[in-house]
Structure 1
Amino acid sequence: SATNTSFFQPPAFLLMGIPGMEAVHGWISIPFSSMYTVALTGNGLILLAVRRTPSLHQPMYYFLSMLALTNVGLTLSTMPTTLAVLWFDHRLIGFNACLVQMFFLHSFSVVESSVLLAMSFDRVVAISNPLRYAAILTNNVIIGIGLAIVAHATLCLFPVPFLIKRLNFCRGNIFLSHSFCYHPDVMRRACADITINIRYGLCVVLSFGGLNSLLIVLSYTLILHTVMGLASPRERIRALNTCVSHILAVFAFFIPGITMSMIHRFGRHLPHVVHALVAYVHLVVPPVLNPIIYSVKSKPIREAILLHILKAGITSI
């Protein structure tokens, strides 16, 4: 028979939706379902538009495709369990399934952070050295950047599930704070020393979220320095206008992400509903906003999407 000191891992965890609002989960599922639909449809349309529009076969739109594909992955990482909790009150997730979801969720978050950095590099080259833009960012270079981002994220996140697997968990302490498996939430359910998990997680956050955000700030410092050197105010405005969409996407991703990390480390006394809402804003809202931002601010993307929608409508008729 098991004793209090024996090694224990729960066969499953119990997920929560929005604490204190369980009675209205059915109503809450409506905006969540709408957001997931918008995220998948919007990012899917961007991928389709870039693929089928020859004029969009440029580095800027290739990076946008990477961002859209990452948003699809991030959406699919949280959607099944979130909607299962909100629609059917199905809260159970197997231990290994939880670790798999946790790996993909954090991997896509890290990839998105790196893609946003790559997009800032694209803007630096386009504004600082426009004559050599196509020569610097060739298709092979873009493919190499994409593969490096995925490989780096995979290698850095690969140890995380195994760091969780080695922990001894408390019997009965199987309630997670979200409707998905988030590493800080899962590791704090353990009855063991989680110092290594905390330090490794902090290292990943600083090396990706912290370092990438600093490099993005540095990129825009270079961009502003270049733009201020332009003679014509119209040229300055035109150059900066090409960065607006990217800046909004950066804010939409990093501000909730940094807030979520800070709350998990220093805001444990806050109500659970605050933790849940910040997590949803970080993981659900950016995939919804990004296609909207780029569709509104980028005329070529908007026209390509409308053209394909029109073609699809004519074909169906």
Structure 2
Amino acid sequence: MLVSNITVFMPSVLTLIGIPGLESVQHWVGIPFCAMYLIAMIGNSLLLFIIKSERSLHEPMYILLGMLGATDIALANSIIPKMLGIFWFHLSDISFDCCLLQMCLIHTFQGIESGILLAMALDRYVAICYPLQYATIFTHQLVTQIGAVVTLRAFILVAPSLILIKCRFQFYHTTIISHSYCEHMAIVKLAAGNVRVNKIYGLFVACTVVGFDLTFITLSYIQIFIMVFNLSQKEARLKTFNTCIAHICVFLQFYLLALFSFFTHRFGSHIPPWIHILFSSIYLVVPPCLNPLVYGIKTKQIRINVVKMFSL
């Protein structure tokens, strides 16, 4: 980030430079990001179409998967088109309000995705540990309520960040953001003034969402593993465990990338800035791309419908 003694009063336009240190090769960097974007759009759209059109998939597990796919589409569209505009066409300028909107959308959709992953873990926990009560516990009404609560929680947690920036800061050291998208801390670091409150609240939101969701996901799978290994028949153990493999893969890639990005930003001061920005961008782009591939390969019902669709 560039810092000077000159301050700007309420800038109307900000400039995203992309990946600092890789400006000369950003057009090449854009190719894999574009490929992941296309995979995310096509894969998640196909997933939503199959779940909607196939009546046998109108079950809580697949409805939650559809909600995850819709969130991935929204998240990818919130970040990648602008990022590719920077990489390929040098469209670096973004209005201040649009930058705040992008920040709000990205962090809200991240929070929604984390909440849906928690709901999916609880769904598998009830289905495996309490199979006789599953139909009465995980109803369509409950899934709808979960979707509403997860969305509301994400918005309520992210909205104060937006308000704190708009209300507390009027002067900025620079209008140049050393990032490829509008992220909370990247904007806060531009401000001339005490940014401690904003930093603390940003850390609070991250720890609240990831800490809460990851804790209960871990507890759910501990109970599932205990249940699986207590089964007497090996075939029953394998069949039960196979229903969770896709979920486990998605959980691991989402939270491992999140934790890696978080710790490199907080404690990796010796790491070059381009590595920070590149990995934080990958963290947002990879899950929407991999999720439909993982579920398409590992979920039998979806795999069968995909094959059926393309064999027509």
How high is the TM-score relative to the length of structure 1? 0.93
Q: Decide whether the 8 Å contact of 2:179 with 2:277 is kept in 1.
A: yes
1:67-123 deviation digits (Å, cap 9, x = unpaired): 111101110110221011012011111111000000000000011111100000001
Partner of 2:235: 234
SS at match of 1:157: helix
Tell me how far apart the structure 1 counterparts of residues 138 and 28 of structure 2 sit (CA, whole Å): 47
Q: Which amino acid aligns with 1:208?
A: V
Q: 1:7 to 1:88 in 2, by over 3 A?
A: closer
Partner of 1:204: 205
Q: Decide whether the 8 Å contact of 1:82 with 1:179 is kept in 2.
A: yes
Q: Quote the sequence identity (%).
A: 38
Q: Which amino acid aligns with 2:177?
A: L
Q: 1:6 to 1:169 in 2, by over 3 A?
A: closer
The gaps in structure 1 that reach 5 residues or longer are 312-317
Partner of 2:134: 133
Tell me how far apart the structure 2 counterparts of residues 255 and 175 of structure 1 sit (CA, whole Å): 30
Matches of residues 1-317 of structure 1 in structure 2 within 5 Å?
8-165=9-166, 166-171=168-173, 173-311=174-312
Give the drift of 1:156: 1.2
Q: Decide whether the 8 Å contact of 1:117 with 1:213 is kept in 2.
A: yes
Give the drift of 1:263: 2.3
1:250-284 deviation digits (Å, cap 9, x = unpaired): 11111111122222222244211111121122100
Tell me how far apart the structure 2 counterparts of residues 169 and 235 of structure 1 sit (CA, whole Å): 63
Give the drift of 1:61: 0.5
Give the drift of 1:229: 1.9
Q: Decide whether the 8 Å contact of 1:227 with 1:240 is kept in 2.
A: yes
Q: 1:176 to 1:7 in 2, by over 3 A?
A: closer
SS at match of 1:244: helix
Query: Mean alpha-carbon deviation: is it higher for 97-106 or for 296-305?
Result: 296-305
Query: Mean alpha-carbon deviation: is it higher for 226-235 or for 261-270?
Result: 261-270
Tell me how far apart the structure 2 counterparts of residues 40 and 114 of structure 1 sit (CA, whole Å): 21
Give the drift of 1:308: 3.1
The gaps in structure 2 that reach 5 residues or longer are none
Q: Decide whether the 8 Å contact of 1:46 with 1:68 is kept in 2.
A: yes
Q: Decide whether the 8 Å contact of 1:184 with 1:264 is kept in 2.
A: no
Q: Decide whether the 8 Å contact of 1:13 with 1:175 is kept in 2.
A: yes
Taking only aligned residues, the RMSD between alpha carbons, in angstroms, comes to 1.6
Give the drift of 1:307: 2.6
1:175-195 deviation digits (Å, cap 9, x = unpaired): 212211000111111111111
Q: 1:259 to 1:169 in 2, by over 3 A?
A: farther
Partner of 1:315: none
Q: Decide whether the 8 Å contact of 1:67 with 1:115 is kept in 2.
A: yes
Tell me how far apart the structure 2 counterparts of residues 202 and 20 of structure 1 sit (CA, whole Å): 27
Tell me how far apart the structure 2 counterparts of residues 16 and 163 of structure 1 sit (CA, whole Å): 24
SS at match of 1:87: helix
